[in-house]
Structure formats: structure tokens, C-alpha cells
Structure 1
Amino acid sequence: MTFVKNVPTQPQILAWLNHVKLFEGLTQDALMPIIENANYMDLKQGDMISYEGMPLSSCFLVLSGQVEVYRNTYLGEEKIFGIFSCYDLVAIAAVFMPHNRFPMTIRAKIDCSVLFLEKNSLLLVCKNNPIIMQRLLISFSAKLYELINNIDWLTSSSAEQRLGAYFLSLSSKQGSQFILPISRGQLATKLGMRYETLSRLISSWRKQKIIAIEGNKVMILNVTYLDELTLPSQRAF
């Protein structure tokens, strides 16, 4: 990891922050504690940003590229919890955790640039601007509801249903042809199944012409089958 020599100007940092819904509409004066203490960093693919359990002094904003957050299982497998892209805030919830530690490991998925937002500066801006806290509560509540639904789905669905729901989720964002953002081993861990089970399902779906797959490129050929398979996961709200 290397800090860039040309430090971004305050107007540039403000412009970056204004792209984030959390800070939308706030003036430079309101955001000045964050702006004055922000640090810009360029990272190469695979660079480690933080490790699970490290003391937390900053969260950060992705400006380009992608970062991923993960944990290692007791078997040493990587369980990916999220992939963050341009103008996503990473570890914002951890700023408010009482243990003051990173709950997961974070690294650069590809070459990227990030802006570190110092914790105490962020807390001060939150204190002085209640609209930020309101936005955070809305965001945290939505995430909690999503996690409850995911746990319910994970404990009541079959491996085939979970894989179908995951493919449909990617398809809704990228189209009927999409790229798997994680390896098959990571995908199996994420969906709570053995790698062999995942491989067997993918092979079966290929033979049935439900999907076509080459490497990490997937095309859904029979969306009706996946829609009917994952019908129990669909909620009214």
C-alpha cells in the first residue's frame, strides 16, 4: 500500500463525499472535520487493508476499483461477505461497534483507490448533523432486515434453491449473462454447501440447459425454472 504524493485538495475530497448518499447535501463546513483528516491511498490487487480483530481508527470510501471483505472459516476457507465498488462506504457500521475492532478482513480485490475517513472526525460530523444519523439508522435497519431474511432462507432452503437465488440476484444486476464475482470455492462457502455439491448442481444445470457456463461467465437459459425453484424466497416487502 502506498500513499500518493499528490494529496487531493479539499474541494476534491468534498466532491467525492458528495457522491455518497450518507453525506448528500452537506456543506464543506459541515464535513470539514472529515475532509481535514482524510487520507487517500492507492492499492494493488491483493493488498491488505485491515485484518479481522485489528483496532479500528477509520472506515473508508472506495473511489475506484473494488475491495472485498471476508472471514476465514475454521477449515481455512474464505467466506466472502461483500464486494464494494466506487463510492461505497466500507466498515461504516464498525465505527459504532463497542469493541472498536474490524469485524472482518478487508483487501483490494483489484487495483483500487480509497479515501480513509478518520473515526473521531466522522463521529463528530454525525453528532453535529442528525440527518446523517437518521440516514444511518435507515440503512442499518434495511441491512438488518435483509440479514434476517437471508438467515431464514439459508436455514429453510435447499442447496439448489440457494444457488438459483444467487444466480437470479446477479442476473437482476448484470442481465441474463453475468460474471461470477467470486471463485466457485468461495461461492460454495457463501451458500453453505460443499464444493462437490456446487459442482454437481452446475453440471446438472448445464446438461438440462438451464444455464450455460464457461469459466466465471454464466448465462441463464431457462429463467422460468429458476423463478419457480426460488419462489419461496420472494417476499411481499
Structure 2
Amino acid sequence: MTVTKITLFDIPTTLPVPTSPNTWKVRIALNFKGLHYTTRWVETADIETVCRQLGIPPTSTSPSGAPKYTLPALIDETRSTVKLSDSTPIIAYLESTYPDPDPRRALYPADTRALQALFEAHVAQRITARLIPVMVMHMYDKKTPRDRVDFRRRMEAAFGKPLEDIELKGNAREEAWRELEGAFDELAVYKEKSGGVYFTGGQFSVADLTLVGIILAMRYDSPDEAWPKLQEWNKGEWKRYMDAFEEYLLVR
């Protein structure tokens, strides 16, 4: 393991593991690169306060124009102090600062950054956005007591209805799961064209980190519904896919 002084900021849950897809992306990248790091757990209700206190930059702005703070965030004090937020720039920083001498282990294989970004946008539209209406109560249940209050407030403001009414039920729920299965069918076709275990063939990349983070949220937030469904789709393809990442799923 490379000796580094890195702090990863992640969101605690009632489980022994986190469930945020974006923080998982960074955690897997750190584990894959063999970088030493520690985790600082920050409830969502405290993210803005902690980031402001530590000088961690916001990730975007709210509709009112106020800065918006989200996790993951990272502070690297190995050489000089670097403070970053948002999974994409964090991973780009780790890749440029701690490159692997073997190009086959690059998280951004040569000249693929545009394609990686397109993949992330595709997954966000076809999968991530569709998971909330079938997983919102599963997500709520895994939050800490304080974060349940914050999660309810944010989700109800975004959807304009009570949290319990956001989650689809009955036929609408079944249709949503069929659409999600179709989205994974599409990804399976793309992945087969790579000719390897990963979406870029024999090496995994940021595209895989994006999808693995989402699948981990399904596995941990919804172990009794989303995860069993996913394991059945595409003749067990996604269970085999996840098996290839198990050694990088350590939580430090």
C-alpha cells in the first residue's frame, strides 16, 4: 500500500457499509490504487458545515445561487494540502497524482475520457433516475436517525409530495422494474462488445466505477428487492460482474 495521508469524507448509514454510489466510486479507486486513507463520516445534515469549516469547495450551486456542498470530498495532505469535492474531479486528481506505471491499470484508458463521460450520463439517465421511485423508502430506512429527517425534507421538496407517496406501488412499480431491467439489458449488450470482464475490456475504468457504485447502492439499500432482481437479470451477468470487484470493496 502506498503511504499517503488522505481523508475520504463519506456518509454513515445504519449498516456497517456506506451506500452512496458516488462515495463508493472514490473508495474503490483508492482501494484499487493501494493508497492509504482514513474515512471521516459526516451525516448529510452536517455536510455544509463541515466542508465550510475545512475549506472544502462546493460541488455546485442551488437554484437560489447559494453554494451546494455534497460528498464525497477528499483532503490529501501527503505532499501539500489538496481539498476536493465531487467524485469526477477527485478520481481525475488521484489518477494524475498517483498514476500506475502499468497503462493497463489506468482508470482513464488512453483517449477515453469523453466516452467515460457519455457512459456516466447514460447511466444517470437510464438507471439512476429510475431507481429513486422504487428504492426511496429502502434508502430512507438505511439512513441514520438524523439523516432521515434531512433526507425526507430534501426529497419532499424535490418531488412536491410526502416521502411515502414518492415510491411507486402496484402496477406502476412493476413497470418501473421492467424498465430498469431493460436498461441493464442494454448495458449487457454494450459490455459484451468490450470482449472482457469490464466495459473497457480487460481493465476496469471510471465507467465501471460508476456502475458498480449504483449496484452497491442496490445491494445494500435494497437487499430484499433490488439486489435479488439484479442477480437474476441477464443470466447472472451482474453477479459475476460484481465478483470481479470484491477485493476493492474494503471500508477503512
- Give the TM-score taking structure 1 as reference length: 0.34
1 or 2, which has the higher strand percentage? 1
Instruction: Give the structure with higher Rg (CA).
Output: 1
1 or 2, which has the higher helix percentage? 2
Q: 1 or 2 for the larger relative contact order (CA 8 Å, sep ≥6)?
A: 2
